[in-house]
A = this chain, B = another copy of it.
Amino acid sequence: MTHRKLPDFLPDWMSAYKRNLFSGDLIAGLIVTVMLIPQSLAYAMLAGLPPEMGLYASILPIIAYALLGSSMTLATGPVAVVSLMTASALAPLAQQGSVQYVELATQMALISGVMLLVFGLLRLGFLAHLLSHPVISGFISGSAILISIGQLKHLLGIQVSGNNIISTLIDLARHLPQTNLATLLIGSSCLLFLWWSRRYLSTFLEKAGVSSKLAGMLSKLAPMISVIGFTSIVYLFQLDERYGISIAGHVPQGLPTLSLNLPGLDAISALWLPALLVSLVGFVESVSVAQSLALKRKQRIKPNRELIGLGAANIASAFSGGYPVTGGFARSVVNFSAGANTPLAGIISALLMAVVIAFFTKLFYFLPQAVLAATIISAVTALIDWHSLKTAWQYDRADAFSLLTTLLGVVLLGVEAGILLGIALSLAVLVWRSSRPHMAVLGRVPNTEHYRNVQRHEVQTVPGLVALRVDESLFFANAAVVEQKVMGLVNADPDVKNVLLVCSAVNQIDATALEMLDQLEKSLSTRDIQLYFAEIKGPIMDRLKNTPLGKRMKSKIFLSVHAAFLHLKKDQELH
């Protein structure tokens, strides 16, 4: 051990830091910064906030996450979906551009940060699973469509109002004749350049002899190149004055001042639900990218640590004049592939951002808004995921339905209603699926100890015995269905004297199902029909044996279907 002993309160990665990790972290930090500058300006615009707030949200939050989060390669900061959700939450509460709007954005980061922190301390990381992949995919695609449509006005250089997609589109069509052609030219060439770079720049560079890895990294610089290029063009040809192109204008220089603007009760009651949704969506997005990157390097993500890390990042954002942040998909992937080994890469890019804010914001004065809009559109359209829809459609219509409904919900009703719809759908599909379990009546495959579905196989049955296998855990969503199935089988055949419930695929029995079984046993017993169990799993048996039902049925529980059949057949012969 040659490295110096560091204090215990430092994160593991820091106390175990080795010098050979540094070059990877440095390069990744540099490249992510170059991506982060245009993105943070653009996403702040998307959130309806002044550009410097995007920059502020890219310093302390990253450092806070680096110290407390569990991912080695997650790049936090402003992201598109969370920015859109912020804009949508604040729209009914304050006017964009007002002091109150800015204050509310900061307070939303604080509320969301505190929620995430508390969830982490309560170990509620499993809440991320409230959203299924189809719902996440539908949500992201829907948000991307909504965001892209919202940015069209900047590409066209027109003013558009409208608080939902329909009125926005109508207003857009009405103002179309007022399109600023110079703006449109800059915006569309930027968009074309970004699209071209995303698809072909890397191949192009490789053909020109650049190594494959370097080419991949250089192609990520396209947004920064277009920022520099188009800003220079506007500056050199004075396009802002001559053609009325909208530019970023004065971006305040200097590090953010640290202060905390505590929300009042009014703000809390208006912001808690949007903050909760932003927290949930941000957490899910962040954990899924962190996890997929960690798996590639044999690392592990701790969901509860992630909650704490993201919570701290949002609180740090609120302290330093930022707005809600989370882990971003694109930047994290770039960070990973650029060779980031530890969160030091993030700290490096946070420090670089601080330098930019402290000294270089003047350079953004002539940055055209159309370029930021093109950056946003290019980034979010990459997130639209038709592949998942196709796969879900082929594999499982219920999942495809969830995906499409969430997508349409987001586009037509807005992000908040969309995500709530998505959560409700995930759970409804889960309950719906479990409420109709696969059940099979079993018979013996001749001369074996195997028992199979009587409808699929040639099997032997014992007269007066019905053996039913339920291929699902027994719980509130399907207890009634199983009860009805058993009673239906019993009613269909007046000779039935024994019912055997085969529990080989029953992984859990909840209190509702236990009560059902208790009632079932009693009501069968009043009709002189005996209930038996077979193949109950260990963990269930441990709990069952202490219940009144378990005690009553003690001698009626068999280890295997075969043992039950042998016993009940003998029983039958005695009658």
Interface positions of A (Cβ within 8 A of B) = 126, 128-134, 287-288, 291-292, 295-296, 298, 300-301, 388, 391-392, 394-396, 399-400, 426-427, 430-433, 435-438, 456, 471-473, 475-480, 483-484, 487-488, 490-491, 504-505, 507-508, 510-512, 514-515, 519, 523, 526, 537-539, 543, 546-547
Contact = CB atoms under 8 A, between A and B. Distances in A.
B296 A523 contact: yes
Given A395-B543, A543-B396, A507 B129 contact: no
Contacts of A134: 511-512
Contact of A511 (B292, B399, B477, B523): B399
A298 B483 CA distance: 12
Contact of A391 (B130, B436, B504, B547): B547
Given A129-B435, A133-B476, A435-B126, A395 B483 contact: no
Contacts of A291: 480, 483-484
A45 to B, nearest CB: 33
Contacts of A488: 300
B427 A131 contact: no
B396 A510 contact: yes
A491 B294 CA distance: 12
Contacts of A399: 510-512
A523 B132 contact: no
A138 to B, nearest CB: 11
Given A133-B511, A477-B430, A511-B134, A394 B523 contact: no
Contacts of A484: 291, 300-301
A327 to B, nearest CB: 15
A508 B433 contact: yes
A378 to B, nearest CB: 25
Contacts of A430: 427, 430-431, 475-477
Contacts of A432: 126
A292 B471 contact: no
Given A478-B129, A507-B472, A539-B438, A547 B483 contact: no
Given A126-B432, A438-B507, A472-B508, 12 more contacts: A133-B515, A288-B480, A291-B480, A295-B519, A296-B523, A394-B547, A395-B511, A426-B476, A427-B430, A433-B510, A472-B507, A473-B473
A71 to B, nearest CB: 13
14 contacts: A126-B431, A129-B480, A133-B476, A133-B479, A133-B511, A295-B483, A388-B511, A388-B515, A391-B514, A395-B546, A395-B547, A396-B510, A396-B514, A471-B537
Contacts of A431: 126, 129-130, 427, 430
Number of copies: 2
Nearest to A129: B477
Contact of A473 (B472, B514, B515): B472
Contacts of A491: 298, 300
B512 A133 contact: yes
A398 B113 CA distance: 28
Contacts of A456: 538
A132 B512 contact: yes
Nearest to A512: B133
A396 B507 contact: no
A511 B296 contact: no
Contact of A392 (B388, B508, B511, B537): B511
Given A129-B476, A426-B476, A487 B298 contact: yes
A337 to B, nearest CB: 14
Contacts of A473: 472-473
A291 B479 CA distance: 12
A358 B396 CA distance: 58
A295 B487 contact: yes
Contact of A471 (B295, B507, B512): B507
Contacts of A298: 487, 490-491
A461 to B, nearest CB: 20
Contacts of A537: 438, 471
Given A131-B476, A295-B487, A396-B543, A507 B508 contact: no
Contacts of A472: 473, 507-508
Contacts of A508: 433, 472
Contacts of A131: 476
Contacts of A479: 133
Contacts of A388: 511, 515
A504 B504 contact: yes
Contacts of A538: 456
A430 to B, nearest CB: 7
A132 B512 CA distance: 6
Nearest to A520: B295
Contacts of A435: 126, 129
A243 to B, nearest CB: 47
Contacts of A128: 480
A298 B515 CA distance: 19
A351 B145 CA distance: 60
A511 B426 CA distance: 12
A402 to B, nearest CB: 9
Contact of A437 (B301, B394, B507, B512): B507
A511 B385 CA distance: 14
